Structure formats: structure tokens, C-alpha cells
Structure 1
């Protein structure tokens, strides 16, 4: 079976949606699926076409910056038409949100469409330009959803709460995201200890958080919480539009001795930090954080998690309260602070949650299981609609 994937970006571009797509096409190959990925070019140094394996090809379309997080790629439709003509896919798998996926409306409408609904497109009220542009974009998004043969939602909570998917519940299939633990770096004890010394003293608890510095990540609450955290050292990995604001907040509170902004790290460095950490924290405040792929990476290293219980998001399900970690209300600095301090002081609970986190990952969030379910969905999607 030949499947054309339309993605926003593809690894080594950073992001949970990107890393998942990279792992998914490799896992689908084992299910007899040949994949052709059409994505935007993240960096000018990336090759135009990459042959990942015998049955996985990636083509990157040139971009000219971004407007409201949307890559500007005027030639995308021509690349898409050429890929359809050359690759002759049996179906098209569109990973949303992704404005370039809308070009499918104008091309080869007879091809079955599978939409992977990673998240709704939502912005806070103060982002007026973003909301105005989405008001124009949404009718076309709705047309695409209507034409889709099947829709993959990553959790039951998200599918049920999403306004965009409300009219299409009969098409929705719940398939959680997953990772391949065997493909992740395994740092040595020497590397782990060396990195710990870089960020904290022996008697300090190492707390980490990872993600794009965006409004919905809640990093400002995590910085606020650190004012009342004793014997803990926080490292935040990533960059983005809120980086300078968070940096200024740290300076204002004079927390430079307790918080380090590490910027973007290599995959090896990032997973060494996951392994070195005592606690992983995902303090997101909006359901734009639809699933929390980064929680799975922390769980792989048996690192207990603290996440927020976002209405309509899977974060409070992926990380199960008092099993793989602690779950607190969103945008609540007091409860976030208490959760961090409780894990700092209770090392027995910390170890138990970390061990359970790894077991939960292996039982529920493996990419091999995801790939089997999606391959089966492809077959069903090729059948004429009933």
C-alpha cells in the first residue's frame, strides 16, 4: 500500500508532531506500507529529497518564513500534484493542523483522505491577527474534514471536546500517539552524571521542562513556582517567541541561581537530560497541548512527571495521577508548587512513580501498536463510503 503523508515539518525539525511522524512512517514500513512524506523545509541546509529507507521518502518544500506559525510555501500545491502523479498513492494521510493540507481540496478529490487530528487550531483572544486569519481558514478546514474518509484523534477526550470534530464523531477513530523506545538514545552513566554536574549540585533535585516557548506551555507558572521550591534546580529546554519574556521573569525574581534556560539541545543531549532528571514538568495551560508527546520521552527514562489536567486534552490521561506522576489543575501556581515540593521531599514516591511511568509507556504508547491500527484503518478507508 502506498500512502502520501502531508506533514508540517519532518525531523530533524523539532517538535512532538514532527518526531511522531518520523517514527510513524518507519513503523508503517513494517506493516507493508510505503510512505512518501511531503513537508515544509525547516532549515535551508536540509536536502530537498531524503530517502530514509527503501520504502520511506521525504520531500521538503521550500518556505519563505512564517505568518502566524504557518509556513509560507506558495509552491506547495505544485509539489503536491507532482507527488500524487509520480507516487500514485492509494490514500493521502494529512497531519493537522497544517494549512498546506488544505491544498488537497483542489487536487485528485477521488483519492481517499485520512486526517490525523493532532490538535485544534486555537489562539488566545489577544492574538487578534491569528484569530482573524483562522476565521478565514476554518471553512476550508471544514471542507477537508467533510471529505475525509476517516479521522484519527489521539485521545477520546480530545475527540469529544473538539468543536472542529463535533460534526464528524462518526468518522473519528481513537489511536493514541506512541514512540519506539528502542530508537531513543541510551546515555551512559558517565554522560548522565556529567550533565547533572553541569546544571545542579549533588544535593539538589533536578527538575526539567521541555517545549517551544509559547503562551500555552505555562512556563511562566513554573518560574513562579520555583520561588517557593527549596533544594530544586530547574532547567527549561527549547526556544520560541516567549523566551525573552521568561528570561526577563527569571531576572525580575532573581532566580538565576535556581533556573537555567538551556536553549535547544541535540537529541543526545536532550535524552541525557531526561535520564539525569529527577522530575519532569509539563505545566501547560491550554488544550493546544493536546497530548504531550514529551511526557512519553520522560516516561521512557523512568522520570516521574507532573502535568496539568487540561479539559479536553490527554495530558492528564497520558500521565496518570499517582501512577506515573502527579496531575494538578492548570494555571494554578500553588498546586504546581506543592506537587514539585512533594516529589522533592518524597524520594520513595518519586522512584515508584518513575518505575510505573516506564511500565505505562510500554503498555500503552508504543509506535508499533499505533502503526498496526493505522495500517488497518488505511485498508478500511480504501473501501467505498457506506
Structure 2
């Protein structure tokens, strides 16, 4: 089949939506399908995938009105929109009206848009107005977690259209992301965060993590912050003002092999996101696959990735006291960390392994 993916960003830009689209491209091409990606113009020359960057005079960050897509998708069997994509979702809605039966429209619902700050809230208005109509034009709507959908902005739509939804959890290559077999109990405890540090990822809660880390009176802990973006400067300033520069490492952008090494040396992984723009957290399953227990916010979608108290701990969203308490519990109890580590690795292999999810996803696409 010929499949078009419509997405607001694509690697090497580091963002969850683009990374998911990249993973889907690889999976589908391995099954013999021809995949073309349409995305705004970012001058991306570092990918071997068939990426068509479209210039638009109506573009702001990852939002863009890719009006050239109108009447350009009729040669595809499936058009797969990664939602949200402000501006282009309207174009697809119009194109589906014009070309009613030319292709099947699929939508992957990544996250809500109701809590966006500033101008992004304004940019989301047209999308919110046509969202239900767009979904009605789709054949299927995929998602990574029903827990997220059942508590999302579209929960009423889901309740009335359950047969339209299909759950495809995100996956991890458990043969690549694997524990360091030589890792033993050691004095230094490594606490790690991995995620975007640009303004689009303001919701990651990195400032809360830094503040809580500074309050833990233990000389044998290190905080590893992996990611890059314009917010990194403010995080570095916060670290300096708190006087913890020697205990915090900023790694910036890492190649995949280096990222795996960071996970492998980690003892605790933290994802302290502050609102529903965090809908799953692929980094959680990467960490668990490397045998690292997880502490993450009690957010729909995020909290259901693992079992609270088994592979890690849920914390009250934005609650720094709770985060500190859970961190201290894992820092001071090696046997608990080891138990959760083993359970995390097992869960990653049994539920999120790439081979399992790829097969499920491919079957879903091919039965459309």
C-alpha cells in the first residue's frame, strides 16, 4: 500500500510525535509498504526516509497550513494524520470533503490541546472547532492509551464512537535498550530525566525536578538531564542559583548509543510532567527496558504505562513534596530498586517489545 503520514515534525527534530511517525515509517516499510511523510519545511537533510517538506507562508513553529496538500493525496491508499497538527488538520478536512472516497483517513490522537499556553492556545481554536467533523471523516482513530482517551478532551466523542478507536501502545527495542549486566550496587545514585527542553515541551516539569533534587541531603546522588532546547539555559541558571552545579550533568542531544548508556548507568528515571500534554512518555518504556525503575506523574496515559508500586511510583502531578518522598524511598532502598528494576525489564519485554507492537500495528493498518 501507499501510505502518507502527515505530521507537524519529524526527526532529527526531537519530539514525541515525530519520533512516533518515524517508528511507524520503519515498521510499515519493513512490511513492504511505501511510506511518504509530509511535514512543514525545517530544512531537514539528515534522513533517508521519503520526507516531503512543504513551505508555507502560514507557518508558526510546528503549526502550518500546508495548503499544497489539497488534491495532492489521491494516489495514496491511506493518509495518516498525527493529531494535533494546527492548520493542516483543516486542510485535510477540506480535502476529505472534496475527495470523499479517494483514500482512507486515519488519525492518531497524540494529546489534548486545551491547556496550551499563550499564542498556541489561539492557534488551537480552528482545530478545536473542526475536530469532531475531522474525526467523523476518519476511518479509524488510533491512540497509545485508552486511559488517556477516557480522560481527554475527546472523552465524550470516544464514548459515542468506541468502535472507531484502536489502541496501539508505543514500543521499544528491548534488544537495544537493555540493562547493563555488570551493573552492581554502588554508592553513587544516578537520577535521570530525558526529554525536550524547548518551549514546545514546557510541560516536562524539569524545573520542579531540579528544585526537589537540590533539597535532598545526600552527597552520593547525581542528576542527569538529557535533552536540548531554548529552556536549557534557564535550567542551567536554576542549577547555578541553587549551588548544585557539581551534582547536575547536562548532556544535551545524544546519539542513540550514548542515550542507551545513560539509561544503563541510571538507578532512577523521573518524568515529572505537569499537565495532560504528556500522554504516554516513550522515555518511560526506554528506561524500563534498561531495567530502571520509574517515577512519573499521575497523569492519564502516563500512569498506566506501568503498575504503581511495582515498576516504579506515580506521584501527584506537580506535587514536589510527593516527588521528594518517592525519590528518597528509592535512593535509600537498594533492594526495592533492584526488585522494581527486574520487574520493569520484564514488563518492557512482555508488553512493549518492538516485535510485539510492530506486528499489532501492521495488522491494524493492513485490515483497514
TM-score (norm 2): 0.86
Q: For 1:115, which of 90, 107, 112 is the aligned residue? A: 107
- Residues in 1 aligned to 2:358 and 2:90: alpha-carbon distance in whole angstroms: 24
Q: For 1:60, which of 45, 53, 67 is the aligned residue? A: 53
SS of equivalent to 2:246: coil
- Residues in 2 aligned to 1:307 and 1:51: alpha-carbon distance in whole angstroms: 34
SS of equivalent to 1:331: coil
- Residues in 2 aligned to 1:283 and 1:233: alpha-carbon distance in whole angstroms: 17
Paired residues of 1:33 and 1:375 also in contact (CA < 8 A): no
- Residues in 2 aligned to 1:77 and 1:371: alpha-carbon distance in whole angstroms: 32
Instruction: Report deviation, 1:228.
Output: 2.5
Q: For 1:232, which of 206, 211, 221 is the aligned residue? A: 221
Per-residue Cα deviation, 1:211-257 (whole angstroms, up to 9, x for no partner)? 11233111121111112221211011112343233222222221212
Instruction: Check if 1:4 corresponds to 2:4.
Output: yes
Instruction: Check if 1:172 corresponds to 2:165.
Output: yes
Q: How does 1:283-322 map to 2 (within 5 A)?
A: 283-310=272-299, 313-322=300-309
Change (3 A) 1:308 1:186: closer
Instruction: Check if 1:264 corresponds to 2:253.
Output: yes
Q: For 2:92, which of 87, 104, 110 is the aligned residue? A: 104
Instruction: Report deviation, 1:121.
Output: 1.5
SS of equivalent to 1:323: coil
Q: 1:198 — aligned with what?
A: none
SS of equivalent to 1:8: coil
Change (3 A) 1:355 1:187: closer
Aligned length: 354
Q: For 1:358, which of 326, 333, 345 is the aligned residue? A: 345
Q: For 2:135, which of 138, 145, 148 is the aligned residue? A: 145
Paired residues of 1:187 and 1:268 also in contact (CA < 8 A): no
Q: How does 1:10-49 map to 2 (within 5 A)?
A: 10-42=10-42, 44-46=43-45
- Residues in 2 aligned to 1:63 and 1:280: alpha-carbon distance in whole angstroms: 39
Bigger mean CA offset, 362-371 vs 155-164? 362-371
SS of equivalent to 1:114: strand
TM-score (norm 1): 0.83
SS of equivalent to 2:303: helix
SS of equivalent to 1:342: helix
Instruction: Report deviation, 1:165.
Output: 4.7
Q: 1:278 — aligned with what?
A: 267
Paired residues of 1:11 and 1:18 also in contact (CA < 8 A): yes
Change (3 A) 1:371 1:186: closer
Paired residues of 1:93 and 1:113 also in contact (CA < 8 A): yes
Paired residues of 2:89 and 2:127 also in contact (CA < 8 A): no
Instruction: Report deviation, 1:149.
Output: 1.3
Per-residue Cα deviation, 1:47-86 (whole angstroms, up to 9, x for no partner)? 6xx654xxxx33333478963x4344x5x3325644x25x
Structure 2 regions of 5+ residues with no counterpart?
none
- Residues in 1 aligned to 2:45 and 2:114: alpha-carbon distance in whole angstroms: 30
SS of equivalent to 1:180: coil
Q: 1:206 — aligned with what?
A: 190
Paired residues of 2:114 and 2:153 also in contact (CA < 8 A): no
Change (3 A) 1:283 1:122: same
Change (3 A) 1:64 1:221: farther
Instruction: Report deviation, 1:9.
Output: 2.2
Instruction: Report deviation, 1:207.
Output: 0.7
Q: How does 1:242-253 map to 2 (within 5 A)?
A: 242-253=231-242
Q: CA RMSD in A?
A: 2.7
Q: 1:341 — aligned with what?
A: 328
